[in-house]
Amino acid sequence: MRKIRCPYCGFPCHKYGKTKAGSQRWHCENCQTVFSCKNRSNLKDFELF
């Protein structure tokens, strides 16, 4: 399984809860960014960083 990486700094991220709409939220400990993506195809784009 590949780690999700921050789209801003490339640092590995961890799960950080869910949005009201049910999307997974991710948190980057390096730049303190919280982000989410709505579907699995967008999630693959984050893994490229």
Write down how long the chain is: 49
Q: For the segment 31-42, what is each residue's pLDDT rounded down to a tens digit?
A: 999 998 765 555
Q: What is the mean pLDDT of the chain?
A: 82
Give the whole-angstrom CA distance, residue 32 versus residue 42: 21
Report how far residue 38's alpha carbon sits from residue 32's, in angstroms, rounded to the nearest whole number. 20
Mean pLDDT is lowest, of 7-16, 21-30, 34-43, for 34-43
Q: What pLDDT, on a 0 to 100 scale, did the predictor assign at position 49?
A: 45
Check residue 1 and give its pLDDT: 60
Q: Which domains does the chain have, with CATH numbers?
A: 1-49 (2.20.25)
Least confident of 3-7, 22-26, 27-31: 3-7
